[in-house]
A and B are shown apart, each in its own frame.
Chain A
Amino acid sequence: MNRPRALTNGRPMRMLAWTLAACAVAAACTQPLKFAKDDSGIVLANQTITAPNPAENGSFRVNRMFYGSGTDKRRPEFKDSVTYKTKAVDISPFVTVPPATANDRKAWWGFDMKAVPVNGRVWYPEGNGPFPLVLVVHGNHNPQEFSDPGYGYLGELMASRGYIFVSVDENFINGLSAENDGRAWMLLKHLESWKRFNDSTAGPLAKKVDMERIVLMGHSRGGEAAATAATFNKLKFYPDDFRQRFNFNFAIKGVVAIAPVDGQYQPSSMLTPMENVNYLLMHGSHDGDVSTFSGIRQYERLRFTDGKPHFKSVIFMYRANHGQWNSVWNNKDNGPRSGRSLDLRTLVPVEDQRQMGKLVISAFLEATLNGKHEYLPLFRDHRTAGRWFPKSLYTTMFQESSYRPLAQFDEDVDLTTGLNGVTIAADSVSTWRENVIPFRGRGTDNQRDNAAWVGWNRRIAGPDTMKFGQVARLTISIPDSVVRAWNVSERGAVYLSVAPTRDKPGPRAAARDTTKRDTSKAAVEARAKAARDSARRAPKPPRPNPDADTLPVDFTVELVDSDGNTARAPIGRYGAVRRPLDTKIYRRAGRDAQRFSNLFEYVPQTYVLPLADFMGAPSNFNPAKLRSIRLVFDRAPLGTIILDDVGLSPAMDATYLASPLRSP
């Protein structure tokens, strides 16, 4: 039979085979999807905050406007549509453009760093005001793909809720390096413009801006810039050059950092300190740009020293990326070709990520600028707003200004001491050491925050897998003098921050048999035979497979007073307990392991335990006589935790502890 030539000729078939083989190789390169166990159905099942959802639009009609140079050749909205004209400012002391690109940049933008425009796009409520002012600045991105329109979804929401929301244009310094002090300084120059707008007698916002209620926000490099601006705001001089005199002193009440970098700008070669503002930090586990949770260092550095009420909070969202909080950036964390390197299937839907942003930012602004304390419990324990949060896994950190540290684990190298005379003792633990918390990323950089690693395994080594030893404990003892001096009361709370790890200590060694043995030959042989038989019978220990272990790292907290009364509660009552959250962001199999030391970030979950919860029968525990905080590792047979920021709030503002969640 004559077959068609195309089929009988071997060449096309060989080409097809090669093509199929290449496709198979390509498919083998892609790693399968793998997520941490989704517990959102349980963790987010409740809603105890009864206030209206802050992510819903408010009652104000929203107006929009632009202000700027009026001459911008690249941005029509800042050329022909400006309501307020602003003067250009000289940012060159803070921003250096490499000579190789200076001319090209000037030719493209039409200006150089000596005369950059003060451009902003504004969403504002209709009404008499005065309205609080919120400025947001984008981070680094392709300068020619303008980033500032990407926060329109926040602008619409916030303006409807009574805020003047401004997205600041700093695209002209994108693509540079070591420019983040300039990004911060620009924010403050915008505030100066806003003061002029408010002080003027003309214009739609004359006398309508509440310059005593200001929050700065930033995304990525802008997130660090917002914090830096809050620090610059109180300085008299630019830290790197006294010739740049500062005189800002605006009433910045809070800073919101969205997936920020940290340390891109280091004043006086230090990481930027920050004081006495409320702080909200958001980050996504699947950030393909700022893949290490850098902002946690800024969170740790923030200090409350002025005796006024402040708080700081972290919301770490599982499967959120870097760009979806900006509608221009979206899922292009790694540039226009992100889909080649990043596994975009792992990301939460963009609507969910933005909904989370709207929720927590709006709640933060309501609490910070409008004094609506009913939203504060959300930051203490996000489960109080479970129905508002999109389905995902959230790790949260929290601290308010009445917090007093007992043990931070970076005060000295003595495992047994904390702060203020606190002593620490461990019993039956397998691991007890202090170390700096690493970042997920490879390299020597870390969270610059020390913590204690505590591990346990109740099982006794040997063939009997049901043989368990004494429960491991870690006890933090507080001197009476401290408790009295701090006036610890039933309005107080205990703070613990805990990150689970994958480390699993081996079984404990069996206690040594100290009874006198029969040394006769028959007895020795009998014991040897028994040992051989036992070894034959003993099953091979299973190979450790951390992935298969989904048991949360859970434990009990006991509070003991000086009368010996002990009250206890499982830690899971005060927040989610989990295994480390598997995070694979790249498409190529093995790429995550190549680029990261760990396939998860250590983000300690803060648990706030109200002392009042431990009072009453049957324990008769008395918070005023608190003597020790004991971590009892009785709820999981083995595990290792990273313990950090053990502290007390002697008498916490009751609004933080409102809307309690009563889980088992």
Chain B
Amino acid sequence: MPRTRFALIPLLLAIAVPATAQDAGPLALLLPVSARPAALGNAWVAGRDEYAVFSNPATVSATTGFGVTLGAYGSDTKTIAAVSGATVGNFTLGWGVHLVDFSTSRTDPTYPFAPAALTGSGDADNFSMLALMAVRMTKWRFQLGASAKYTQDIAPRETSGSALLVVPERGNALLLDVGATHALWTGTAGLAVQNIGEPYRMGGRYVAIPSQIALGWTKQRPLGPLDFGFASQATLRRGGWLGVGGGVDFGWSWIEGYQVGARIGARRTETGDERPVALGATFNADRLNVEYGIGFFANDTYAHRLTLRWR
């Protein structure tokens, strides 16, 4: 526990510092995909479950499973994500897709979108997607992984000031992630270099990719009758933006195979419209895992995520 406490102090200090919006896209790259990272301050670079493939390809779960996440921001934004994986020989493969359907004002000139844009609404339907395939292997006591990502944003824009003439603009990019994890102290450390790629073209201009380096540490341990988990992460984005986040979760199992849990996380947000704190809950029944996470935004709007995993 002392190490966990040690990691918490700088985390809390950093979270208190507000941030400004970043000029990078597509939007699907900036969002937590499943309920658990969302509730743990997006600190999942050293975590492990099926959805960890979105955070660090070195954490692709060896457990054959399938997961679906449904999300909602405010009243108009819907997200869906699906992941699965399999072990083939010495390699573990994982794949996933994340789709975001949201609306903004057609005349809104703000592109690329910040996550807070998802809580708004408007007459322009936007779409963002991310699809990836990852492979993991063990070498020199390290878990090493790489993933290829394809991402796309579709945003309609008025081209002549007439509402009847709407041309959807597309921007897409092919990206690469590499990562590693290793046992450190009594937990697991993870390092990932994400979104390696060239800027993509959208609406006649080049938009930066949110390339970033993420370093994190997670730990699980019994705590009295509870199962305690801790996750932390620091993210340095190209351009110098530094995000930190972390969270804790507590699980209680009264019988083998069943567990309920609660979690709380905090992070340094991308914009002032996001609130740093997030909450979550989990229920596990044998192979079925149900997770819920809620994030908070300005104007009393929320982001909900419900993840179902089957292992």
Q: List 24 A-B contacts (CB under 8 A).
A: A22-B260, A22-B283, A26-B254, A26-B255, A26-B258, A29-B255, A29-B257, A29-B258, A30-B255, A100-B141, A104-B183, A336-B222, A337-B222, A337-B253, A340-B253, A340-B254, A340-B255, A340-B256, A341-B256, A586-B256, A587-B255, A587-B256, A588-B256, A588-B257
A586 to B283 Cα, complex, angstroms:
21
B254-A591 in contact (CB<8A): no
Considering only residues 204-262 of chain B, those with a C-beta below 8 Å from chain A are 222, 253-258, 260
A586 to B255 Cα, complex, angstroms:
10
A16 to B10 Cα, complex, angstroms:
39
Q: Looking at A104, A340, A587, A588, which has the most chain B CB atoms within 10 Å of its CB?
A: A340
Contacts of B260 in A (CB 8 A): 22
A588 to B183 Cα, complex, angstroms:
33
Contacts of A586 in B (CB 8 A): 256
Contacts of B255 in A (CB 8 A): 26, 29-30, 340-341, 587-588
Contacts of A591 in B (CB 8 A): 256
Contacts of B253 in A (CB 8 A): 337, 340
Q: How many residues of B contact A (CB 8 A)?
A: 11
A337 to B222 Cα, complex, angstroms:
9
Contacts of B258 in A (CB 8 A): 26, 29
Interface bits A1-41 vs B (CB < 8 Å: 1, else 0): 00000000000000000000010001001100000000000
Considering only residues 183-212 of chain B, those with a C-beta below 8 Å from chain A are 183
Q: How many residues of A contact B (CB 8 A)?
A: 15
Interface bits A586-615 vs B (CB < 8 Å: 1, else 0): 111001000000000000000000000000
Closest chain-B Cβ to A382's Cβ sits at a distance in Å of 34
A100 to B139 Cα, complex, angstroms:
10
Contacts of A337 in B (CB 8 A): 222, 253
Interface bits B84-108 vs A (CB < 8 Å: 1, else 0): 0000000000000000000000000
Closest 5 interchain pairs by CB?
A341-B256, A340-B256, A100-B141, A340-B253, A587-B255
Residues of B in contact with A (beta carbons under 8 Å apart): 141, 183, 222, 253-258, 260, 283
Chain A residue nearest in CB terms to B254 = A26
Contacts of B254 in A (CB 8 A): 26, 340
A591 to B253 Cα, complex, angstroms:
16
Q: A337-B222, A588-B256 provided; 11 other pairs, C-beta below 8 A?
A: A22-B260, A26-B258, A29-B255, A29-B257, A99-B141, A100-B141, A340-B254, A340-B255, A341-B255, A588-B255, A588-B257
Closest chain-A Cβ to B296's Cβ sits at a distance in Å of 19
A341 to B183 Cα, complex, angstroms:
27
Contacts of A340 in B (CB 8 A): 253-256
Contacts of A336 in B (CB 8 A): 222
Considering only residues 330-344 of chain A, those with a C-beta below 8 Å from chain B are 336-337, 340-341
Interface bits A85-103 vs B (CB < 8 Å: 1, else 0): 0000000000000011000
A337 to B260 Cα, complex, angstroms:
15
Closest chain-B Cβ to A463's Cβ sits at a distance in Å of 48
Closest chain-A Cβ to B306's Cβ sits at a distance in Å of 15
Closest chain-B Cβ to A97's Cβ sits at a distance in Å of 13
A336 to B225 Cα, complex, angstroms:
10
Chain B residue nearest in CB terms to A343 = B255
Contacts of B141 in A (CB 8 A): 99-100
A588 to B256 Cα, complex, angstroms:
7
Chain B residue nearest in CB terms to A338 = B256
Interface bits A401-437 vs B (CB < 8 Å: 1, else 0): 0000000000000000000000000000000000000
Closest chain-A Cβ to B182's Cβ sits at a distance in Å of 11
Contacts of A100 in B (CB 8 A): 141
A591 to B222 Cα, complex, angstroms:
24
Closest chain-A Cβ to B187's Cβ sits at a distance in Å of 13
Closest chain-A Cβ to B277's Cβ sits at a distance in Å of 22
A29 to B141 Cα, complex, angstroms:
40
Closest chain-B Cβ to A395's Cβ sits at a distance in Å of 28
Closest chain-B Cβ to A505's Cβ sits at a distance in Å of 38
A29 to B285 Cα, complex, angstroms:
11
Chain A residue nearest in CB terms to B259 = A340
Contacts of B222 in A (CB 8 A): 336-337
Contacts of B257 in A (CB 8 A): 29, 588
Closest chain-B Cβ to A10's Cβ sits at a distance in Å of 20
Interface bits A319-336 vs B (CB < 8 Å: 1, else 0): 000000000000000001
Contacts of A26 in B (CB 8 A): 254-255, 258
A22 to B259 Cα, complex, angstroms:
11
Considering only residues 199-252 of chain A, those with a C-beta below 8 Å from chain B are none
Chain A residue nearest in CB terms to B258 = A26
Closest chain-A Cβ to B242's Cβ sits at a distance in Å of 32
A104 to B141 Cα, complex, angstroms:
12
A621 to B271 Cα, complex, angstroms:
101
A420 to B279 Cα, complex, angstroms:
77
Chain A residue nearest in CB terms to B252 = A340
Contacts of A99 in B (CB 8 A): 141
Closest chain-B Cβ to A26's Cβ sits at a distance in Å of 6
A99 to B254 Cα, complex, angstroms:
37
Interface bits A340-360 vs B (CB < 8 Å: 1, else 0): 110000000000000000000
A22 to B260 Cα, complex, angstroms:
10
Closest chain-A Cβ to B97's Cβ sits at a distance in Å of 31
Contacts of A587 in B (CB 8 A): 255-256
A30 to B254 Cα, complex, angstroms:
10
A30 to B222 Cα, complex, angstroms:
23
Contacts of A22 in B (CB 8 A): 260, 283
Chain A residue nearest in CB terms to B285 = A25
Contacts of A341 in B (CB 8 A): 255-256
A26 to B284 Cα, complex, angstroms:
12
A12 to B255 Cα, complex, angstroms:
26
Considering only residues 424-458 of chain A, those with a C-beta below 8 Å from chain B are none
Closest chain-A Cβ to B139's Cβ sits at a distance in Å of 11
Interface bits A29-57 vs B (CB < 8 Å: 1, else 0): 11000000000000000000000000000
Contacts of B283 in A (CB 8 A): 22
Closest chain-B Cβ to A423's Cβ sits at a distance in Å of 52
Chain B residue nearest in CB terms to A336 = B222
Considering only residues 85-128 of chain A, those with a C-beta below 8 Å from chain B are 99-100, 104
Closest chain-A Cβ to B225's Cβ sits at a distance in Å of 9
Contacts of A104 in B (CB 8 A): 183
Closest chain-A Cβ to B62's Cβ sits at a distance in Å of 16
Closest chain-B Cβ to A28's Cβ sits at a distance in Å of 11
Chain A residue nearest in CB terms to B227 = A337
Contacts of B256 in A (CB 8 A): 340-341, 586-588, 591
A587 to B256 Cα, complex, angstroms:
8
Closest chain-B Cβ to A344's Cβ sits at a distance in Å of 12
Closest chain-B Cβ to A531's Cβ sits at a distance in Å of 53
Closest chain-B Cβ to A394's Cβ sits at a distance in Å of 29
Contacts of A588 in B (CB 8 A): 255-257
A104 to B260 Cα, complex, angstroms:
33
Considering only residues 271-302 of chain A, those with a C-beta below 8 Å from chain B are none
A574 to B257 Cα, complex, angstroms:
45
Chain B residue nearest in CB terms to A100 = B141
A337 to B253 Cα, complex, angstroms:
9
A104 to B185 Cα, complex, angstroms:
10
Chain A residue nearest in CB terms to B260 = A22
Chain B residue nearest in CB terms to A342 = B256
